[in-house]
Amino acid sequence: MGFSTSLQGQASHEALLGRQDAEIKLLETMRRCLTNKVKSDREYASTISSLTAQGKKVERSEELVGSLIAQSWRDIMDSIDQTAKLIKQQADSMESTVVEHISNLHLERRKARKLYQEEQTWLNNQFQQLTDDVSRKKTEYQKNLEVYKLMRSRFEEHYIKSGRGGRKLDEVREKYQKACRKLHLTHNEYVLLLGAVTECENDLRTCYLPSLLQRQQAIHQEFIVTWKGILQEMVKYSDFTTEKFLEIHTRMQKAVDSIKPIEEYKDFIGKHRTRQASPIRFVFDENLVDDTSGKLLPNKLTVDNLTIDWLRSRLTELESSLKTTQQNRQASQESNSDSKMSILDYSREREELRLRCQEKKLQRQADVIRGALNELGCEELPSGCDLSMEVSFTEPPVINKRNTVPDNGLFTLRRNQRLMTLLRSPFKSLPSINDTKNGVIRARSEGPASKPVNAPSVVPLRGGSNTSNNQKGNGNAGLMEEEWFHGVLPREEVVRLLVNEGDYLVRETTRNDECQIVLSVCWDGHKHFIVQTTPEGHYRFEGPTFPSIQELIMHQWQSGLPVTSRSGAILKSPILRERWELNNDDVILLDKIGRGNFGDVYKAQLKTGKTEVAVKTCKVTLPDEQKKKFLQEGRILKQYDHPNIVKLIGICVQKQPIMIVMEIVPGGSLLTYLRKNAGTITQREQLRMCKDAAAGMRYLESKYCIHRDLAARNCLVGYESIVKISDFGMSREEEEYIVSDGMKQIPIKWTAPEALNFGKYTSLCDVWSYGVLMWEIFSKGGNPYSGMSNSQAREKIDAGYRMPSPEGTPDEIYRLMLRCWEYEPEKRPHFDQIYTVVDTLSQAL
C-alpha cells in the first residue's frame, strides 16, 4: 500500500496537500517552541550564575577561614554555577544545530510541496487539454456536418425543381461535393485524434501519475528520516543527569524511537485511500454520423477518392515525424543515463513522457491509416469518380439534345465492388424523387436499374431549417458581449440599478416558458419593453426593424426617439454590468459539495487563473421573488472585505442558472469541524474561534448589517483554522429590522426573545446568537437546548432558563455567554466589547 496505487484520486491529492501543510505548520511550531526554550534556558542559566555569585559573597568571610561549613557552601555554589554553564552550553548547541536544522527542513518542505503542486497542476492541465482537443474537434465535426446536411438538402431541392439538370444544379452539386469532402476529412481527423489522445491519457494516468506519487512518497519518507534525526539531536541536548531529567529523557527517547519512517503514512494512506485513477474515455459520438447514411462509420477511417491522397500524404508525414521523435527519445535516454537525476527534478521525466506520448500518438495514427489503406489491397480507385456521390439512378436524366449523358462515374460506380461495399452512399436515406416522365427515381448504391414506380407525391426533405429561427439566432449573436446586457437579472435588481431618468439596460426574461428580451428604462418610474420579432426574424419596437438587437438598441439611443410614442421613454445612459457580474461560461462547475435553500452548492474553477471557488446556484424553476432573495446575499457580500467574512468573487446572471461565486473555504462548516475534531481541539483553539467570529461580527455591526442567522453551521473554517462568517441569506443592512412576512424558517434556538416575540431585529439579536455560537464551540458541536423542542426552549428562555456551561469552559467565557443572553437587549454587550474580552482572555491563556 503506497502513494502510487492508493492516492491517485483528486480527494487524495487534496488530502496530501493538506497533510503537507500540516507538517509545515508543525515545523513552524517546533521552531518557535525550541527558540523560546533556548531563550528560557539562557535566562535561567544567567539567573543561576547571578545567584551563585551572590552566594559566594559571604559577609565577614575572614572570620570563617577554615570553616568546613563555609567550604561546603562554596563547593555547592561552584557546582550550581557549573550546572548553569552546562545549561547555557546545551542551549547554545540547541540553537546552532536543532533550530537551524528545523529551519532548513522547513524551507525544503515548502519547496517540495510547491513542486508537487506544480506537477499535479501540470498533469491536470494535460488531462484538460486532451479533453479540450477532442471537444474542439467534435465541434468542428458538428459544424461541417450541418453544412453537409444543408448542401445535401439544397442539392435534392434543386434536383426536384430543375427536373433534369442545368447550370444551377451543377453549382449546387459542386458545393455539395465540397461539403462532403470537408466532412470526410474532419471525420478522419476526429477518429485519429480520439486514438491519439487515448494513448496520451493512458500514459499520463498509468505512468506519470504513479511515478509522481511514488516519488512523493520517497520524498516524504526522506523528510521523516531527517526529521527524526533532528528530534534525536533535540533529545541529546535536553539530556540532564538528575533523576527527574533522566525520567523526562527516557520518555522523550521512547517517543522519538516510536517514529518509523516506513510506517509514517500508513494510517494516512488508509484514511484517504481512493480508487486508482479512472481512465478518461474518449468515445466516438455516433450521433455525428446518423445523417451520413452509413457512409461515415464510427471509429473507422473513410477511404475514398476524397481522402485517399490526403491519407497517403498524412501517412508519409507521420512516418517522418515518428522517426524524428524516436531519435530524440533515444538521445534523451542516453543523456539521462549519463547524469544523476535529482529526486525533486521532474523536468527530465516529463520530457521523456512527452516524447513517449508523442511517439505512441504518431505510431497509433500511422498504424490506423496503414491498416485502412491495406484493407483496399492493391486495387486502385476508379478514375474520374466521386465516391461521395455513390448512387445509381434507374434512368439517366435527359439533359441534352441526344437525351444522353456521358457515364463519368457520377451515377454508376460498379467497377470497384469491394470499395462500394466499404463506402455507403449519403443518399441511402433520401426520399423518392418524383419524375413526371419516368415515374419515381429511387436512390441505390449498385445493381441494375429499377423499374419506374408511381408515387402520389414527393416526401418532404429532412433537415430543412426555419428561416426565421435562423435569423433570430443571428440577431442574438454577441448580445452577451454587450456591457449593457444583464442576462437573466431579476426585475427587482434591475429597478435598483436604474436610478436616473433615461437610464436603461437590456435583460432576458421567461414568460409562459418563452424566452424574451426586455429593454428596461427609468422614465417616469420604470418601464419595461419586450423586443418584438418580425416574421423575417428582425427586431423592432414601434419604428423600423433591424437584423440584430444591438443595432436596434443603438438606433434608439443615437436617434433620441421614444421607444414607444405612448411611453415617451428616451434612452440616455446605458447601465453597464457591475464589475462583479461574471459570465456564466467563465465558471466551470466541478463537484457538488452541498445544498442550500435555493439550490445546490458546487466546488468550481474560474477559467481565468484556474482559481478554485465555491458556487451557490439558484434553481431555474424558482419564482422571481425567491431569486431576488437569493441575490440579496451577493448584493450584501460585494461591499464587505474582512478576513473573517467569506469573500464574494462575483455573481453570474448572464443566463440560467443564476450563481453566486465566493472564495472556497476548505475546512467546511464550523459545526462539522467541531464534531470531527472534538478529541483534539484545545481551549486555545476554541478561544481563537470565538475571537475570529467576534471580529467578523464587529465588522458587520460597524456596517449596520444584521446577520439574523449566526450559528456554527453558518460559519466556515479556512486555512490555518481561521473562522469566517458565511450564509447572509437572511441578513439585512439596517440598524433595526421588523419582520413583516411571518417567522418562517427562523432558527428558534439561536434567535433572541425580542425577535421571536415581536419580530424586531437589531445587532443585539446577533449578540444573543453569538452567545449560542460560543456555547456550540465550547461544547465541541453540541446541540443547544438538547432534548427540548423549539417551543419548549422558547418557553423556558422566557421563564429565565439559560443553558449550563459546557464542560471545561473558562468561567470568564461562561459569564460572557450569560451577558449575551440577557433578556433585555440593552443589557447585552456590543461586539466591540465582546471582541475586547475574548481577545484579552486569548492572550492571557
Provide DSSP, 397-434.
---STTS-----SSS---S-HHHHHHS--TTTTPPPEE
Which amino acid appears at position 356 of this protein? R
Cell of 785: 437546548
Cβ proximity of 332 and 355 under 8 Å: yes
424 is in an annotated binding site: no
Longest dimension (CA), the chain: 154
Cell of 256: 522519538
Q: Is 446 helix (H, G, I), strand (E, B) or coil?
A: coil
Closest to 229 in 3D by CA, of 98, 338, 135:
98
Q: How far apart are CA 412 and CA 396, in angstroms?
A: 10
Strand partners for 587: 606
Strand partners for 617: 659
Q: How far apart are CA 142 and CA 739, in angstroms?
A: 55
Q: Which of 386, 709, 727, 766 is catalytic?
A: 709
Cell of 166: 442545368
598 is in an annotated binding site: yes
Q: With the CA atoms of 603, 608, 611 and 614 taken in that order, what torsion angle do they form, in degrees rounded to the nearest 10?
A: -30
616 is in an annotated binding site: yes
Closest to 746 in 3D by CA, of 760, 754, 738, 756:
756
Cβ proximity of 34 and 94 under 8 Å: yes
Q: Is 58 helix (H, G, I), strand (E, B) or coil?
A: coil
787 is in an annotated binding site: no
Radius of gyration of the chain (CA): 39
Strand partners for 516: 509
Is 78 part of the annotated catalytic residue set? no
Buried-state track 610-628, b at ≥16 Cβ within 10 A, e below 16: eeebbbbbbeeebeeebbb
Between helices 831-844 and 763-778, what is the axis angle to 10°? 30
3-state helix, strand, coil in the chain (%, to 5): 55, 10, 35
Q: How many CB atoms are located within 10 Å of the residue 352 CB?
A: 17
600 is in an annotated binding site: yes
Cβ proximity of 184 and 300 under 8 Å: no
Total residue count of the chain as it appears in this document: 845
593 is in an annotated binding site: yes
Cβ proximity of 615 and 601 under 8 Å: yes
Show Cβ contacts of residue 238 under 8 Å, excluding neighbours closer than 6 positions. 90, 94, 245, 248, 249, 252
- The catalytic residues are 709
In the annotated binding site for ATP, the residues are: 593-601, 616
In the annotated binding site, the residues are: 593-601, 616
